[in-house]
Amino acid sequence: MELWFIILISISIAALLKALINFTNKPTKNLPPGPFTIPIISNILWLRKSLLGLEPILRSLSAKLGPVITLHIGPITAIFVSDRSLIHQALVQNGPTFANRPPPGIVDRILSCNQHNINSAPYGPTWRLLRRNLTAEILHPSRVRAYSQARRWVLQILIDRLKSKSEPVTEDTVLDTYLIPKNAVINFMVAEIGWDPKVWEEPMSFKPERFMSSDGGKGGEVIDITGSKEIKMMPFGAGRRMCPGYGLAILHLEYFVANLVWNFLWEAKDGDDVDLSEKLEFTVVMKNPLQLEDDLQRMPYLKAVILKSLRRHPPRHFLLPHAVTEDTVLDTYLIPKNAIINLNLAEMGWDPKVWEDTMSFKPERFMSSDGGKAREVIDITGSKEINMMPFGTGRRMCPGYGLAILHVEYFVANLVWNFVWEAKDGDDVDLSEKMEFTVVMKNPLLVYISPRSQNK
């Protein structure tokens, strides 16, 4: 036992000495500044932190060292960027260089099917093919319009479920209900590809021979289920991985409704009689809650509230990590090839240089002076300049951001039209955050919901 202990200590000391020698003798590179690190020990300390736990530390380091800093986390060189102009320079002006993904670990390689989905695929032919398939098929505007019936179907399920919990007026946590639109609509969109009569003759018939070649070969020789050449079917849920921004935005419905309820309470404190349905232009526009989605284009306040929520409470505080395809320079600093680039999108929405009174609920800042569309004021794509980027920007921007905004507007509008939302016992709504798979409300939204009189 003592011998093994001595051997273990000797190996540990040798490894530490080797790391120290390599650290002191390595050539100096003009990497972005970072905190002083002690080999092995500092790495272990950083590995214990989640990205959300790192934020206060990164904010403090950025105040001292600048908007670009370096952390050595294990064997990885991680570079964090929090300045909007530098992020625009990297992702838009030098898009191809910063469009890669870092090499995956073993677990990530398995979960991503060896980087064969649009989120994790390296920048190259495979990624271009995946993105082209999405934008030309599932996310094409004509295809999105064709799913309006599915949205109405899912909306009715959502409304019926909430009504069953709100008669009589009850207190309930509605977070689990928000999973309905996310899962149902996407599953419908992906399944519809396998039912398309333009592709499949008698799509509902049992005809296994259509998957077999004439000489009795394997079905895979006839139908490519990966969609690498042509999308005919996607049995392994490629659509569910089509874009992280879409699913995160739908899961964020709780925050959108919470912001509306919070705003109602805030204005009610001033003695005003506030009706959210009137505040959101519903009495004029949405006489029928299942009206055509074109009505959403005439609801600038609704759009402003949603953009405000995405700015103040982005579903992710960091974009998916980027990597550079070659050594490059950003803000006079060397960014080495394959270094992991982490871009802090939350800081973009909280920057006091851009947003006055950053934490206040001011949806009117997203509206033009003549009451025009909210998007005329703020460009969330970041193509010209970055003020906020909830769906990323540049070549790796989520291709499903338009679908996400449409679905959020559609479901939030109908939730407010169909129900009266009131905070529990008139309490303030706690908008503080915590990190799970995505950023969620630390204290789930607890409300009283009741059908509006005209919808009972």
Residue ranges for the known binding site for heme are 398
SS3 string, 212-265, reads CCCCCCCHHHCCCCCCCCCCCCCCCCHHHHCCHHHHHHHHCHHHHHHHHHHHHH
Question: By 3-state DSSP, what share of the chain in percent is helix, strand and coil, each rounded to 5?
Answer: 50, 10, 40
User: Are 154 and 181 within 8 A, CB to CB?
Assistant: yes
Six-digit token string for 96: 């191809």
Q: By three-state DSSP, how is residue 75 classified?
A: coil
CA 208 distance to own-chain centroid: 39
In the numeric block, the tokens 């033009």 are attached to: 368
Q: What angle do CA 34, 93, 322 make, to 5 degrees?
A: 50
The CA distance from 398 to 406, in Å, is 14
Binding-site positions read 398
The CA distance from 57 to 79, in Å, is 14
The CA distance from 398 to 343, in Å, is 15
User: Are 392 and 245 within 8 A, CB to CB?
Assistant: yes
Tell me which residue of 24, 22, 42 sits closest to 34, measured CA to CA: 42
Six-digit token string for 322: 């980027």
User: Are 431 and 259 within 8 A, CB to CB?
Assistant: yes
Radius of gyration of the chain (CA): 25
186 Rama sector, left if φ>0, alpha if ψ -120 to 50, beta otherwise: alpha
Cα 217 to Cα 210, 212, 221, 232, 310: the distances in Å are 11, 6, 7, 19, 51
What strand order describes the sheet that includes 170-173?
A: 170-173, 446-451, 419-423
The CA distance from 87 to 154, in Å, is 38
Report the amino acid identity of residue 2.
Answer: E
The CA distance from 443 to 423, in Å, is 13
User: Which residues make beta-bridge pairs with 423?
Assistant: 447
